[in-house]
């Protein structure tokens, strides 16, 4: 039954991409079919072909070895107790990110990373028919961060079509970097599932992006591109040191975001509790919502034109009225003994999505809040909660853990819009307006791509 629901989910997610398309007649259905076929092939090989599964398991164990190596360095700095005996999140995760950052710097300096990226780009371009810039950027995004991967094609960004721009932005948001991969494994997330998600979501992002914004510039598909060589280190030692320094910046950014966003969730829950305990707010909030909503409607209909004084105070947007109405609703629910947290709101909105990926309804109500947390806040917080749900009594089933791991795998959250707009605009200032306009679309495409990948993987287990 769950697989039939997952199949329905695939149709729904592709249907949403089709409905949001700016040019349905121009959709390249060959690219769509091939992209979905590539994902199914990856999932089948990893889940059902023993030697491929063993290879990915070995790769995952190798990454665990990297974590252990990073702990050796951490033990030298902080001592064995903090490095190995206790799991102090900031220390253990930061050490793994810094260590992998240094290794990535060395791999890039000696040219090994470029060989892998070019190979993946060649495969994507030949099979899916995407442009060279999209293929190179997407191939790099499996290993590098959102901005770092786009630096490799910085010389071509100003010439990209809007379809190419949304393609590279969606792929950047839908995938994760090597440093993030290691950090998630450090939280206890299954490495094989994370690796599978990393490779499957890249073509999925291109499928959805090309449905939402099809390529109409035929010249873009034939334009020759190559990686921009950004190597500045004189040897591998300097490259490793610079990579470790960049890793430290990433680790600091991760910790800062977690402190802020977890604090925001806690503050939101505190405010919800405070509203429930104050029924006296109802007349003020309810009356204010009615007044502001009425004035906004009258202004919109042009009925306040003869009274300039009212025009000047009437809201230009309906959102203030909506906010006050929301406060009124919380107070009213509290009067009937109904209380809830911000996670419960995410659950209501995203539980149907979790169900459509093929997760049974009784577990979807637990996974839904994680999908909301990932989209509104970030995937790190969601993975921390998933790790708690994957152990002990009442743990999620293995199939649900796999689907959820894949659905959460990616940088598709509100903050990533700013990261992409800021990074790409610095590389191509003349395209800033186009990049800004495509930010929301790219986030939607990346989110749909993660859900689509999760549903497809669920069909094969």
Closest by Cα among 428, 450, 319, 429 to 375: 450
Q: Write out the chain's pLDDT in tens, 461 residues.
A: 788 899 999 999 999 999 999 999 989 999 999 999 999 998 899 888 988 888 888 877 777 777 777 777 777 777 776 666 565 666 777 777 788 778 888 888 888 877 877 887 888 888 888 888 888 888 888 877 777 777 777 777 888 888 989 999 999 899 888 778 888 888 888 888 988 898 899 899 999 999 999 988 777 666 667 666 666 788 888 888 888 888 888 778 778 877 887 788 788 888 888 877 777 877 888 888 888 888 888 888 887 777 777 777 788 888 888 888 888 888 887 777 777 777 778 778 899 999 999 999 999 999 999 998 888 888 888 998 999 898 877 889 999 999 999 999 988 888 788 878 887 888 788 888 888 889 889 999 999 999 999 999 999 88
Confidence (pLDDT) at 212: 95
CA distances in angstroms from 215 to 164, 179, 221, 431, listed in the order given = 7, 32, 8, 17
pLDDT in tens, 336-389: 777 777 777 877 889 999 999 999 999 999 999 999 888 888 888 899 899 989
Confidence (pLDDT) at 227: 61
Confidence (pLDDT) at 100: 76
| Domain range list for the chain | 25-254, 275-333
Confidence (pLDDT) at 315: 84
pLDDT in tens, 229-278: 666 788 888 888 888 888 888 778 778 877 887 788 788 888 888 877 77
């Amino acid at each position: 039954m769950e697989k039939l629901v997952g199949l329905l989910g695939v149709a729904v997610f592709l249907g949403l991409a089709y409905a949001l398309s700016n040019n349905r007649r121009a959709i390249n259905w060959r690219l769509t079919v091939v992209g979905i076929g590539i994902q199914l092939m990856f999932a089948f090989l990893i889940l059902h072909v023993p030697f491929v599964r063993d290879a990915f398991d070995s790769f995952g164990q190798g990454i665990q070895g990297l974590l252990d190596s990073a702990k050796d360095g951490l033990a030298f700095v902080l001592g064995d107790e903090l490095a190995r005996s206790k799991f102090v999140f900031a220390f253990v995760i930061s050490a793994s990110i810094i260590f992998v950052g240094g290794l990535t710097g060395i791999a890039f300096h000696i040219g090994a990373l470029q060989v892998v990226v070019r190979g993946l780009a060649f495969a994507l371009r030949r099979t899916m028919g995407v442009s060279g810039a999209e293929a190179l950027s997407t191939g790099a995004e499996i290993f590098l961060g959102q901005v770092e991967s786009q630096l490799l094609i910085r010389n071509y960004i100003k010439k990209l079509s809007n379809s190419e721009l949304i393609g590279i932005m969606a792929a950047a948001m839908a995938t994760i970097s090597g440093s993030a991969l290691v950090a998630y494994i450090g939280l206890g997330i299954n490495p094989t599932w994370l690796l599978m998600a990393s490779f499957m979501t890249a073509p999925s992002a291109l499928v959805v992006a090309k449905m939402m914004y099809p390529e109409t510039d035929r010249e873009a598909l034939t334009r020759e591109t190559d990686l921009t060589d950004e190597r500045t280190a004189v040897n591998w030692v300097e490259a490793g040191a610079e990579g470790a320094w960049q890793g430290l910046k990433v680790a600091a950014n991760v910790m800062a975001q977690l402190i802020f966003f977890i604090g925001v969730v806690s503050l939101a829950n505190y405010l919800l509790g405070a509203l429930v305990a104050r029924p006296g707010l109802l007349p003020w909030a309810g009356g204010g919502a009615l007044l502001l909503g009425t004035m906004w409607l009258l202004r919109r209909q042009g009925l306040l034109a003869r009274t300039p004084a009212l025009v000047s105070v009437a809201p230009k947007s309906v959102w203030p009225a909506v906010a006050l109405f929301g406060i009124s609703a919380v107070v009213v629910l509290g009067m009937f003994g109904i209380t809830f947290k911000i996670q419960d709101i995410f659950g209501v909105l995203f539980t149907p999505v979790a169900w459509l990926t093929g997760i049974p309804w009784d577990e979807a109500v637990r996974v839904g809040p994680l999908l909301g947390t990932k989209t509104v806040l970030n995937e790190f917080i969601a993975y921390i909660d998933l790790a708690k749900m994957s152990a002990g009594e009442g743990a999620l089933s293995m199939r649900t853990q796999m689907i959820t791991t894949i659905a959460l795998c990616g940088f598709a959250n509100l903050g990533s819009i700013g990261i992409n707009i800021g990074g790409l605009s610095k590389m191509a200032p003349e395209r800033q307006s186009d990049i800004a306009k495509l930010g929301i679309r790219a986030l939607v495409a990346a989110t749909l791509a993660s859900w689509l990948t999760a549903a497809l993987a669920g069909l094969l287990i």
